[in-house]
Amino acid sequence: MPESRLTAENTRGEMIMRTKKEELRRFRTFVLIGIGVLLLSGCDEPLEPLDNTPPESVTLHYVDYYNQTFHLTWSPSRDEDFKAYIVFEALQEEMLGETGLHTFETITDTSFTRETELNTIRFYRIVVEDQAGNQTKSNIRMGSSYGRILYLNTPVEGEDENAYLVNIDGSHLKRVTSGFNVYFADFSSDGSEIILYSPGSPVLITDLAGRIIEKIHIPGDNPILSPNGRYFAFEKITPFGKDIYIYDRTDSTVAQVFWGIETEPERIQFTPDGEHLLFSAGSFGNNTIFLLPLDGSGLIDLTPGDDSAYSPNISRDGSRIVFVSYRSGNGDVYLMNADGSNVVNLTHSTGLEFNSPLFSPSGNKILFLRFDVGINQLCLFDLTDSSLTVITDEVYWYTSFRFSPQEEKIIMDRYNNGIYSVNIDGTGLKKIAEGYDPKIQPIQ
C-alpha cells in the first residue's frame, strides 16, 4: 500500500478514536450529571442558616385564681422559628430558684393551669425558645390564692367610676375597666368572672383581667347573676312600685315573676341552689320576707304575722336565714330555718337599731351593724357560743362589709374614707385602698 494512503488511514483512525473518546467523556459527564440530578431530586432544599436573633418576648397576663387553681394566659409568639414556651414558677418575685413546670411546643398553646392550696403566693414567667436555642423571658406575674377584692373608685372627680382588683393585703392593685362608667361590680359565684353594670348600658361579663367575654342587653336595673350563671334577676321601677324579672341567658327570654304594687323589694338574692329568689317586700313601712320560685309561682311568706321583717340573708348552704325584725318592739337580729321555722332572737336589744346582717362563708358567724347614740358599730355574733364582739366602735358609717374567704378578716368601707381590713377580733385595722363597695372573690 502506498505510504501516502497509509498515512491517511492512520490519520482517519486517530480522528475516529479521538471522536469516540470525546463521546465517551461526554457520556460519562452526562451520566454523572444525571446521577447528581437524581440524587438532588430526592433531597430537601438546602437549609437556610438559622436565625440567631433572640425571639420576641411574650406578655404574661394576670395570673387568675379560681376553683382552687391558678390560671395563666399569655400572648402568642410571632417568631417564625419558634420552638417552645416554657412555664417557670418561683417562690420569690426575683425568680430565684425558679422551676420549669411545663413545655409547650405548639405556638397556639398559650394557657396553663396549676392546682394550688389556699393562702399560697407564687410567681410565674414564660420563656420563649427558638430553633437556634435562643431564649427570651416574659414579664413576671404573681398568683395569689388569698382571694381578691373588687371595688369601685373615681380617682379624679368628674371621671368615670372604675372597677379595681386588689389582694386582701392591699398589694397588686389593678384597674379592671376603662371607658365604662361602672355603677355595680361583683364576682361570679365561682370567682372566675366579673359582672359590670351601668344604667342604660349592656351588662358586661369579663374575665379577671377585664377582657370582655359577653355583652348582655337587660331591660331593667340592678341585675344579679344566679349561682349557675344561667339567669339574671333584675328590677323595673314603675309608677306603682318595683317589679322583678328573670332573664334567661340560654335563650334571651325575659319573664316577670313579681308585681311590686305599692312596694319595693329589697336585698334581692338567689338561694344557693339557684332555684328561688329571697327578698323582703311590703308597703308603708311594713315588710315581709318572701321566697319566690324562678317561674313566679307559689310565692312563700316566710314571716307570716310579722309586718316588720326586712334585710334577709341566706347561708351558703341554704339552710338558714338571718334578718332584722321589730316584732319585739326593737330592731333585733333574728335567725330562722330556710322554710321560716324555728325563729330565734339573737340580740335581745333595748333601744338599739340593727341592720344588714350577713352570714360568714361557714355559716357559723354573722356580721351586722348596730347603731348606738350616734356610734355605728360593726358587730360579730358567733353562733357556736352566742358571743357578741364589737369589731369597730366609731363614728364612721360602714356602707358595705364582707368576710374574707377563710373568715380571718373583715373587709369594709367607711363612707368617703376608703376600704379597710380588720382582724376577726377587731384588731389590726388597716386601710387597703381608696374606694367603696368591696366584694370578695369567692374561694371554692
Q: What is the DSSP letter of 60?
A: B
Q: Is the pLDDT of residue 8 over 70?
A: no
pTM value? Answer: 0.77
Confidence grade of residue 371 (pLDDT, cut at 50, 70, 90): confident
Task: Give the tens place of pLDDT for each residue, 198-225.
Answer: 998 999 999 888 889 999 999 999 999 9
**What pLDDT, on a 0 to 100 scale, did the predictor assign at position 406?**
82
Mean per-residue pLDDT of the chain:
85
Calpha distance 444→435 (Å, rounded): 26
Q: Tell me which CATH homologous superfamily contains domain 64-144.
A: Immunoglobulins (2.60.40.10)
Using left for φ > 0, alpha for ψ between -120 and 50, and beta otherwise, residue 118 falls in beta
Task: Give the tens place of pLDDT for each residue, 398-419.
Answer: 778 999 888 889 999 987 789 9
The percent of residues above 90 in pLDDT, for the chain, comes to: 55
Confidence grade of residue 337 (pLDDT, cut at 50, 70, 90): very high
Task: Give the tens place of pLDDT for each residue, 70-89.
Answer: 999 999 999 999 999 999 99
**What pLDDT, on a 0 to 100 scale, did the predictor assign at position 51?**
66
Poorest-confidence range of 142-151, 258-267, 296-305?
A: 258-267
Poorest-confidence range of 30-44, 296-310, 318-332?
A: 30-44
β-pair partners for 331? none
Q: What is the DSSP letter of 308?
A: B
**What pLDDT, on a 0 to 100 scale, did the predictor assign at position 260?**
81
Q: Is the pLDDT of residue 9 over 60?
A: no
CA nearest neighbour of 87 among 106, 117, 60: 60
Q: Comparing 197 with 39, which gets the higher pLDDT? A: 197
Which residue do the cell numbers 436555642 mark? 133
Give mean pLDDT, residues 123-127: 96
CA nearest neighbour of 113 among 99, 128, 101, 100: 101
**What pLDDT, on a 0 to 100 scale, did the predictor assign at position 397?**
72
Confidence grade of residue 25 (pLDDT, cut at 50, 70, 90): low
Q: Is the pLDDT of residue 135 over 80?
A: yes
β-pair partners for 253? 248
Q: Is the pLDDT of residue 386 over 80?
A: yes
Calpha distance 347→358 (Å, rounded): 14
> Computed over its alpha carbons, how large is the radius of gyration of the chain?
37
How many CA atoms lie within 13 Å of 175's alpha carbon, on the beta-carbon side?
Answer: 12
Q: Is the pLDDT of residue 7 over 70?
A: no
**What pLDDT, on a 0 to 100 scale, did the predictor assign at position 195?**
96
**What pLDDT, on a 0 to 100 scale, did the predictor assign at position 61?**
85
**What pLDDT, on a 0 to 100 scale, did the predictor assign at position 251?**
94
Q: CB–CB of 271/277 below 8 Å? A: yes
Domain edges within the chain: 64-144
**C-alpha grid cell, residue 261:** 304594687
The percent of residues above 70 in pLDDT, for the chain, comes to: 86
Which residues, 6+ apart, have CB-to-CB distance to 385 below 8 Å? Answer: none
Poorest-confidence range of 12-16, 114-118, 172-176, 388-392?
A: 12-16
**What pLDDT, on a 0 to 100 scale, did the predictor assign at position 39?**
43
Which residue do the cell numbers 368591696 mark? 438
**What pLDDT, on a 0 to 100 scale, did the predictor assign at position 19?**
52
Task: Give the tens place of pLDDT for each residue, 280-289.
Answer: 998 766 789 9
